[in-house]
Amino acid sequence: MRFPLAIVLVVIFCSVNVSQGQVPSASYLDELIGRAQQSSLHEQRYWQLLLHYRASWTGNYESEIDEAGFFLSPRGKTDPKAELEATLRGFFSTEPVGRSRQPTRCAFIARYQWLKSELAIDESRLPEQRCERFDAWLKELNPASITLIFPSSFINNPASMFGHLLLRIDQKGQTDATRILAYTINYAAELPPDTGIEFAFLGIVGGYTGYFSTVPYYLKAKEYGDFENRDIWEYRLNFSVAQVEQLLMHAWEMGNASFDYFFFKENCAYHILALLDLANPDLRLADRFSFYTLPSDGVRAIAEKPGLVEAAVFRPSRRTKILRGRDALSNVERQWLKKIIEAPKLAQGAEFLQLSAERRAAVLDVASFFLIDTAATESEPKEFDTRNSAVLLARSEIRSNAPPLTYLPMSGPPDQGHLVRRAGLGVGWRDREFFTEANFRLAFHDRLDPEYGYTPDAQIETLSVALRHYPEQRHTRIERLTLLNIMSLSPADALFFKPSWKLNTGFETIHRDGCRFCRVGGASGGIGLTAESSWLRREVYYGFTEVAAEYSRAFAEDYRIGGGVSAGMLVDITERWKVGGSASYFGYGAGDGKTEWRFGAQQRFTLNKDLALRFDFNQRLNRREYLLNLNFYF
């Protein structure tokens, strides 16, 4: 049978287009591109948010996304207009794109919905396309609202020492008891196994790749609250249903994206804030941070937006539950707690049974929490699991409940703490000479700063510098520069025994052997023990064994390496007034072999949340220095 030539050509033309996933709508595509150009859609803020474009100081744009598959145009990373036109072309194709291998309209559904609204796209003139994977994902999430999650800092893990931010997708019909079953949107760096000291360097220079992921909240709550003993703060956000859907559509698109992970800038906080900006572009949360982004700053930026936070909820870690539960016990009951943890069979002995049922329940509840916590952190948990089984057996025989407890946080909400940057103006006296000083710290918190809103007994300072002027000599110089100063004080008691540690690197000025303004650069670190009491309000005592390496032309051989011991204490006299004192002794076995004693005393009085008066005394090599500073937090 022979077919007319026209019919044959039509069949061939349609076959070619179907095989390429195309629909013969070139004129409609040109019409849409023309309308987009006429409206300059590529210059609109929402398009730039969708593609994570940032303007450079030259006025050019570049996306922060570093995965080539996220862009449909070869020039898409730096050309918003080319990417918009390529996206419109993609709507006329069913070919899979991106890491998720879906058609453009499904892989980049937020782009499609926005362009459909802006250009009034007629879907009947596009290829028929169902986004079943996205629909199933959205149905599983069953979204109703968004909650910002802030796990507090975990100083023993460099990746989490400033805290973390993620989002929880609260479901329709959810209750306080079932919120733990919701899903989260998390951004984190993908780290190789057994990451060592190189993490700090690679994290600073963008040596890791960051990805978004969707993880059940109960897994994250267990990781943070149980394994890492980090208290969690939940901030329920006031977003409309449409805004929640916008956020989730873009979160779906992020399955095709990856970023170079920067520890201080493009981190969890920055990208979570950028995601919230997609829900409500008027927030401009990410725009507030140009040099670095700390999770606590992100929480503060959100809390400052009128009407954005509906409620703040505290979720205590297992350690907080243990400590608060123990605080509610009497001295006799605490003794029983310690005994039963060591020998659970005592819980069914005649002497323990003399306590009331409620008080026995309170003791056994705390004992069980402690044994579960210990089993989760020990390399061989079997023994503690066995003890806990015996405790639970005794607890099951008590029909009464323990008195209800309110688990108060160890510190206040993170959004109510002092701001992380600090500047100070001061006057002082050294070597019978008056001086003035101006100092600045980029971040974050030291042990004399106001503690409300921060992890107690933890110090993290980065990039701190002091400029000093001696008017009699008309001499101005950098007195000290701190690159990183960390101190983690972990008070040990009958239940918890965890070593404290410290690390410091930078340089300072000393007066030594006729050299009045000699710079000493170096690094030191130590491990020690901490204890606490409550004679006045709260007292913390610590001691360290330390090692140190220093370089200076003031030394006999330009360097010295050695070690020593140090001890100190911190006393909270009132909520606003804190004092501290320390002493240390160092001996050096390599290089300049001289020994050295150092003494110091400090006190801080808080005037308001972001203003404090501080006095420091230091003695080194019989040279005494007094400094009065007014510190501003901003």
Asked whether the beta carbons of 571 and 539 are under 8 A apart, the reply is yes
Q: Are strands 559-572 and 596-608 parallel, antiparallel or unpaired?
A: unpaired
Which pLDDT tens digit goes with each residue over 565-602? 999 999 999 999 999 999 999 999 999 988 999 999 99
The pLDDT of residue 24: 44
Mean pLDDT of 423-443: 95
Q: What is the pLDDT of residues 130-187, one digit of tens each?
A: 999 999 999 999 999 999 999 998 877 666 788 999 999 999 999 988 999 999 999 9
Q: What is the pLDDT of residue 324?
A: 95
Asked if pLDDT for residue 14 goes beyond 80, the answer is no
Q: Which CATH number does 418-633 carry?
A: 2.40.160.40
Q: Which residues pair with 606 in a beta bridge?
A: 612
Instruction: Concatenate the DSSP letters of all residues of 338-407 into one string.
Output: HHHHH-GGGGGSTTGGGS-HHHHHHHHHHHHHHHHHHHHHSS--HHHHHHHHHHHHHHHT--SPPPP---
CB 463 within 8 A of CB 483: yes
* Domain regions of the chain by residue span: 25-127, 138-315, 329-396, 418-633
Half-sphere exposure of 353 (CA within 13 A, CB side): 7
Is the pLDDT confidence value at 15 over 50?
no
User: Is the overall model pTM greater than 0.75, yes or no?
Assistant: yes
CA 78/CA 472 separation, integer angstroms: 55
Confidence of residue 528 (pLDDT cuts 50, 70, 90): very high
Are 262 and 171 spatial neighbours (Cβ–Cβ below 8 Å)? no
What secondary structure letter does DSSP report for 223?
Answer: I
pLDDT score for 262: 92
- Average predicted confidence (pLDDT) for the chain: 92
Q: Please report the pLDDT score of residue 16 as a whole number.
A: 37
Minimum mean pLDDT range among 92-106, 114-128, 337-351, 511-525: 511-525
Please check whether residue 445 is in contact with residue 464, taking contact to mean a CB–CB distance below 8 angstroms: no
Q: What is the DSSP letter of 162?
A: T
Q: Which amino acid is at 257?
A: A
